[in-house]
Amino acid sequence: MKRYKHILTGLTFIIALALLIYGYNFLKGKNIFTKQTIYYARYEEVSGLEIANPVLINGYRVGQVNELYFDPTMSGDIMVVLMIDKQFPVPKDTYARIISSDIMGSKAVDLDLGKASELAVSGDTLSTSLEASLRDEVNKQVQPIKRKAENLLSSIDSLVIAIQTIFNESAVENLTESFNDIRLTFANLQSTTSNIDTLVDQESNRISSILENIDSLSYTLRENRENISAILDNFETISDSLAKSDIPGTFIRANNSLDKLDAILTQIESGEGSLGMLLHNDTLYMEVTKSAEELNKLLEDIRLNPKRYVKFSLF
C-alpha cells in the first residue's frame, strides 16, 4: 500500500512537471508536439520587435519570434530567431520584413515569399527589410502639405506687405491721382471718338468718292490688263536690247572721239594749223581781209564797166 502511494506520487509529479513544461511552452507560443523550423534574420535595427511577436505569411500566423541577440561578430546587427510551426514551403529568396501589425505599433515579421525554385531549410538566414514606421509614413504624407502651407504663408505675408504698401497715405493719394488720370484719359478718348465719328459723317461723301475712284481704277487696270502686259513686254524687250547692245564699246569710242577733239582744240589754242593761225595771227587775217576788199572792188568794177572785160560782136 505504501509502495502504491509512492508510485502515485511519482506519477503525479511527472504529470505535473509535463503539464508545467507544456504550459510554459504554450504560453510562449511553442507547441512541443509539432515539428518546428528555425530561420534566422539579421537586422541593423529591429524597431521595437520583441520575443513572441508573430511571424506571418500573407497575414496568417505561421510562427513567432523565438529569440533576439546581438550578432557574435559584434557588428551591432541584431540576430532574430524565427520559429515556424506551420509546414509551408519557403523559397530561399524570401524576405523577412518587420512590419507594424496594428495601429498601436506592435511589430511582426512578415515573410515576403520569393520566387526561387530552391527552398530554404531550417537554419538558413533569410534576407531582411524594414517597413517604414507610422511616423515615417505620416511625415511622408504631411511633408508636402507642410511645404505647401509654408509657401502659402509666405504668399500671404507678401500679399499683406503689398496691401500695407498700397494703402499707406502717400500710396492712396497716388492711387487717387492715377484713377483721376485714367478718368481724364477715358474722357479724352471719348471726345476723340466723337470727333472721329463727326469727321466720318462730314467726309462720308468724299470717302465714298475716293472708294469709287479706287474701284474705277481697279476696274480700269483689270480691263487694260492685256495692254499693261504688252507695255511690260516692251520694256522687257528694250531691256534685253540694251543688255545685248555694246554700250561699253560705244562709250569707249565716244571717249576716244572726245580725246581727239580735245587734241584738235589744244592745237588750235596753241596756234598750230591754218585755223590756229587764223585765230592767233593778225597778218593772215589782214591779208584775207585785204583780198576780200580787192575782190569786192573787182566785182564792183565788172558790174559798172562790163564792156571793159566782156566784148560782144554781132557781125
Domain ranges, ordered by start, for the chain: 1-32, 34-131, 246-295
Tell me the CA distances in angstroms from 272 to 164, 262, 284, 303, one per residue in order.
105, 14, 13, 40
Q: Which of 32, 48, 118 has the alpha carbon at shortest distance from 83?
A: 32
Q: Residues 6 or more apart from 260 whose CB is under 8 A from it? A: none
Contact between 131 and 43 under an 8 Å Cβ cutoff? The reply is no
Q: pTM (2 decimals)?
A: 0.38
Q: Which of 46, 49, 81 has the alpha carbon at shortest distance from 63?
A: 81
Q: Which of 20, 18, 22, 19 has the alpha carbon at shortest distance from 32?
A: 22
**Three-class SS of residue 106?**
coil
Contact between 33 and 18 under an 8 Å Cβ cutoff? The reply is no
pLDDT in tens, the chain (315 residues): 666 666 777 777 777 777 777 666 555 555 555 578 899 999 988 888 888 899 999 889 998 898 999 988 888 899 999 988 888 888 999 999 998 877 777 889 999 998 888 998 988 989 888 876 555 655 666 677 878 888 888 888 787 777 766 666 666 677 777 778 888 888 888 888 888 878 777 777 788 888 888 888 888 888 888 888 888 888 788 777 766 766 777 778 788 888 878 877 777 777 676 666 666 666 766 777 778 888 888 788 777 777 776 654 544
Distance, CA of 5 to CA of 63 (rounded, Å): 42
Burial of 79 (C-beta count, 10 Å sphere; 0-12/13-18/19+): middle
